Amino acid sequence: MALARVVSFDGVDGDRLAALVGRMRSDDGPPPEVAASELVMLHDAEGGRALAVLFFDSEDDYSRADAALSAMPADETPGRRASVAKYEVVLRRTT
């Protein structure tokens, strides 16, 4: 069963988000405790909001990552963390 961790952020500054995305692209990948199979970042520039959707292949992977990401300092996020939710992935498709 795949799981998704969906995090919404408010007060997102485009420059700060661009810097974080640039850093993530240049890194060798996420830390070992964040074993996400995929990351999707969405940005609403007009609304100053963003969504981060991380996909995990198992409950263990999700739990380890959730603990690590919940402990992440606020200056390493694109804005104020507004919500964190866990979803079961019922369909995942790319065309």
Dist CA 46 CA 23 (whole Å): 23
Is it the case that residue 56 has pLDDT exceeding 80?
Answer: yes
Full-model pTM? 0.91
Q: In this structure, is the dihedral angle defined by the CA atoms of residues 15, 16, 20 and 26, taken in order, positive or negative?
A: positive
Dist CA 55 CA 67 (whole Å): 15
Give 5-54 pLDDT, tens digit per residue. 999 999 999 999 999 999 888 887 788 899 999 999 999 999 999 999 99
CA-wise closest residue to 76 among 26, 5, 9: 9
Amino acid at residue number 44: D
What local confidence, expressed as pLDDT, does residue 76 receive?
83
CATH of region 3-88, choose from 3.30.1490, 3.40.190, 1.10.540, 3.30.70: 3.30.70
Q: Centre a 10 Å sphere on the Cβ of residue 33 and count the other Cβ atoms it contains.
A: 14
Give 58-79 pLDDT, tens digit per residue. 999 999 999 999 998 888 889 9
Dist CA 1 CA 60 (whole Å): 11
Is it the case that residue 81 has pLDDT exceeding 90?
Answer: yes
